[in-house]
Amino acid sequence: MSDYPSSKFERGSTIAKTGLKMGTNYAKHHLKNVLQGKKNNFREVHRKNANIMFNELAKLRGTALKMAQAMSLDTAMLPGEFAEIMTQAQYSVPPINRALVRTLIKKELGEYPENIFASFEPDAFAAASLGQVHRAELRDGRKVAVKVQYPNVRETIDSDLAMVKVIYKRLVQGKLADEYFTEVREKLMEETDYLNEGKQIRFFHDKYNQGDFVTPEWIPELSTGKVLTMTFIEGIHINEFLRRHDDQEMRNRYGQLIWDFFHAQINDTCTIHADAHPGNFLYTTDGRLGVLDFGCVKVCPADFFSRYMELFVAHFNQHENRMLQLYKELEIIDDIQDLNESELDFVNFTRRLGRLFVNPYHFDTFDFSDDRFSEEFNGYAREAVGYKEPRGSKHFIFMARGQVLKNKATCRVMFISAGGLFPSGLTC
> pLDDT tens-digit profile of 93-120?
778 889 999 999 999 999 999 999 999 9
181/294: higher pLDDT = 294
| CA pair distance 122, 100, nearest whole angstrom | 10
38/171: higher pLDDT = 38
219/35: higher pLDDT = 219
Classify 126 as helix, strand or coil.
strand
The length of the chain in residues reads 428
Sequence-separated (6 or more) residues with CB below 8 Å from residue 144: 117, 135, 136, 137, 138, 219, 222, 229, 230, 231, 232
Classify 230 as helix, strand or coil.
strand
Give percent of the chain above pLDDT 70.
Answer: 75
> Is the pLDDT confidence value at 298 over 80?
yes
| CA pair distance 141, 144, nearest whole angstrom | 9
At 415 the pLDDT is 33
> How far, CA to CA in Å, does 268 sit from each of 263, 264, 305, 364?
8, 6, 12, 22
> Is the pLDDT confidence value at 47 over 90?
no
Least confident of 30-39, 92-101, 363-372: 30-39
Class of domain 91-153+192-232: alpha beta
| CA pair distance 122, 304, nearest whole angstrom | 45
When pLDDT is averaged across residues 282-302 and rounded to a whole number, the result is: 90
> Is the pLDDT confidence value at 408 over 70?
no
Look up residue 175 and give its DSSP letter. T
pTM of the model: 0.78
Per-domain residue ranges for the chain?
Answer: 8-90, 91-153+192-232, 234-428
Name the phi and psi angles at 214, rounded to 5: -135, 130
> Is the pLDDT confidence value at 375 over 90?
no
When pLDDT is averaged across residues 21-25 and rounded to a whole number, the result is: 85
| CA pair distance 361, 363, nearest whole angstrom | 5
| CA pair distance 89, 77, nearest whole angstrom | 18
At 78 the pLDDT is 56
Question: At CA 301, angle to CA 331 and CA 399, rounded to 5?
Answer: 70
At 127 the pLDDT is 81
The DSSP secondary structure of 36-94, one letter per residue, reads HTPPP--HHHHHHHHHHHHHHHHHH-HHHHHHHHHHHH-TTTS-HHHHHHHGGGGTBPP
Nearest to 400 by CA among 377, 368, 369: 377
Which residue spans within 150-256 are E strands per DSSP?
Answer: 213-214, 227-231, 235-237
At 145 the pLDDT is 98
Nearest to 204 by CA among 303, 296, 69: 296
**Beta strand 281-284 pairing with 235-237:** antiparallel
Nearest to 239 by CA among 366, 34, 90, 350: 90
When pLDDT is averaged across residues 345-371 and rounded to a whole number, the result is: 88
Print the SS3 string covering 262-324: HHHHHHHCCEEECCCCHHHEEEECCCCEEECCCCCEEECCHHHHHHHHHHHHHHHHCCHHHHH
Mean pLDDT of the chain: 80
When pLDDT is averaged across residues 39-56 and rounded to a whole number, the result is: 78
Least confident of 60-64, 160-164, 173-177, 289-293: 173-177
> Is the pLDDT confidence value at 44 over 50?
yes
**Beta strand 213-214 pairing with 289-291:** parallel
Q: Per-residue pLDDT tens for 265-278? A: 887 667 889 887 78
When pLDDT is averaged across residues 393-419 and rounded to a whole number, the result is: 47
